[in-house]
Structure 1
Amino acid sequence: MTKRFEDKVVVITGGSDGIGLASAQLFAEEGARVYITARRQALLDQAVSQIGHGAVGVQGDVTNVTDLARLYERIERDHGKVDVVFANAGVHEPVPLEAIDEAHFNSTFGINVKAVVFTVQKALPLMTEGGVIVLNGSIAGSKAYPGQSLYNASKAAVRSFARSWTNDLKERGIRVNVVSPGGTETRLIRSYFDATPGAEAEVIKGVPLGRLGRLEEVARAVLFLASNDSSFVAGHELFVDGGVAAV
């Protein structure tokens, strides 16, 4: 196992499950000092135990700027720096246009957009040249899937942030990229499939590689974007989707 992240401080929001947890495990195995966040303490504790390697869990809600500030205050006390931010926390609540209400709008944009902004903003005072920001997007930001326009738009915003922030942060030597998964075997998508008959078969039918992605496949893409292996990659959206967006 290589140690590309030896002594690097890595922050992952939504790190107690799914892509966040899988990424945290790989970062830790490659030597990183990993900090994860989640709202539920029990899941957070379980994830920290699973990750090992001295990982730290800080309970909090990413839509609450006070909680985010507390996260970075802890990291500043412990290490005085942040090397990598993976703004991973997100929500997928498909609702057709006619059924959208204010609560659904606030939830989707609060977690998928607002939280991304302040997760990154609050990290910046601790980041120096060579720092990396990876945002978790989705092919939905480009594909305009029906019945989930708010989700699609929220992920399009994430894609736009990577472009804008690449320009905003270039003088500081901080790179920003997006990893955009397609259908991936997560608890979130499994609950959606279980509640929507035929959805899984329909999704797989549209994937050139003929299957859902695996968590570790997305996590490896995250680590690539966060590492020096991608040192000349900036403002980019890396699709990890079995060919859906490209074909």
Structure 2
Amino acid sequence: MQLSGKIALVTGGTSGIGAATVRRLASEGARVIVVGREGPRLRQPAVHLERTEPIAADVTNAHSIARLMSDVKERHGRLDVLVINAGIATAPPIHELDPTSYDALMDVNCKGAVFTFVHALPLLADGASVVFVGSVAARKGQPGDALYAGSKGFLHAFARNAGTSPELLQRRIRVNVVTPGPIDTPLSAAATADPQIRAYVEGLIPMGRWGKAEEVAEAILFLGSQASSFTTGAEITVDGGMSHA
């Protein structure tokens, strides 16, 4: 198994791409820490698997992230794979943006992602892998996605820079991005409940269908394993060709 004996952590690991990633990493032998906000999702049986450890944390709260990493250090002493997946897509139309809605999205997608990474740095083992989950929205403009796209564009730029930072490369720590297109998850289903919207989005994808969370998880597994040992500051796009259409 590709990750036998490894310790992995996945934020936003209770649903969608995060949950599929948890299952895939665990299937390859990793011990996977599943991070999500306290609530029914974190207590569901699908999160409590043979090799998983659910831990409640709020990525928008620096103290909560610090406690999470302290807990991980006490339990395992290190991290070999860090998947920064937690994110939201809810935002009003651009002409209705206000500081409250801005903060609500950016605190999760940007601040939460960055400080999860920062607080995890002391725990990352030499040769560890960090994977940020971005979005095709950062590369291909769509109506109504301005703030969300901006948040993901920030992550792409941050990861490119971090992935080529000498202080990380001295420890052989790699940082990469997986860029999903439209993926069939509970989050996307809620955002595209109107069948006409779903059909419109599907029409933008050259492969003619929505992607599956498991397909993104395969790309994350690749970047999290030694199969990608010469890959850093890079981006793997899993979008059915949408960004090139």
TM value normalised by structure 2: 0.96
SS of aligned partner of 1:92 = coil
2:63 paired residue number: 66
1:212 paired residue number: 210
- 8 Å CA contact 1:24–1:51 kept in 2: the answer is no
Q: Quick check: 1:186 aligned with 2:197?
A: no
Return 5+ residue gaps in structure 1 as ranges: none
- Paired with 1:40 and 1:184, the residues of 2 have a C-alpha distance of 25
1:104 paired residue number: 101
Runs of 4+ aligned structure 1 residues displaced above 6 Å come to none
Q: What amino acid is the match of 2:132? A: L
SS of aligned partner of 2:202 = helix
How far apart are 1:114 and its partner, in Å? 0.4
2:134 paired residue number: 137
- The structure-2 alpha-carbon separation of the partners of 1:121 and 1:9, relative to structure 1 and needing over 3 Å to count, comes to same
- The structure-2 alpha-carbon separation of the partners of 1:117 and 1:50, relative to structure 1 and needing over 3 Å to count, comes to closer
How far apart are 1:183 and its partner, in Å? 0.5
Size of the aligned set, in residue pairs, is: 243
1:175 paired residue number: 174
Question: 10, 13, 18: which is aligned to 1:15?
Answer: 13
- 8 Å CA contact 1:95–1:148 kept in 2: the answer is no
1:121 paired residue number: 118
Q: Quick check: 1:43 aligned with 2:45?
A: no
1:72-83 mapped onto 2 (5 Å cutoff): 72-83=69-80
Deviations 1:34-84 (A, max 9, x none): 10111133211215x445123111111111111111111111111110101
Q: Quick check: 1:84 aligned with 2:75?
A: no
- 8 Å CA contact 2:14–2:47 kept in 1: the answer is no
Question: 198, 216, 227: which is aligned to 2:225?
Answer: 227
- The structure-2 alpha-carbon separation of the partners of 1:51 and 1:220, relative to structure 1 and needing over 3 Å to count, comes to farther
Deviations 1:72-131 (A, max 9, x none): 111111111010100000001142211111111001110000011011111110112210
Q: What amino acid is the match of 2:56? A: Q
Of Structure 1 and Structure 2, the greater strand share is in 2
Return 5+ residue gaps in structure 2 as ranges: none
2:197 paired residue number: 199
Root-mean-square deviation (Å): 1.3
- Paired with 2:92 and 2:141, the residues of 1 have a C-alpha distance of 13
- 8 Å CA contact 2:36–2:56 kept in 1: the answer is yes
SS of aligned partner of 1:5 = coil
How far apart are 1:167 and its partner, in Å? 2.3
Deviations 1:152-178 (A, max 9, x none): 100000100111101222222110000
- The structure-2 alpha-carbon separation of the partners of 1:51 and 1:221, relative to structure 1 and needing over 3 Å to count, comes to farther
2:153 paired residue number: 156
- Paired with 1:91 and 1:189, the residues of 2 have a C-alpha distance of 10
Of stretches 165-174 and 225-234 in structure 1, the one that deviates more from structure 2 is: 165-174
TM value normalised by structure 1: 0.95
- 8 Å CA contact 1:62–1:119 kept in 2: the answer is yes
SS of aligned partner of 2:244 = coil
- Paired with 1:176 and 1:182, the residues of 2 have a C-alpha distance of 20
Q: What amino acid is the match of 1:233? A: T
Q: Equivalent pairs: percent with the same residue? A: 39
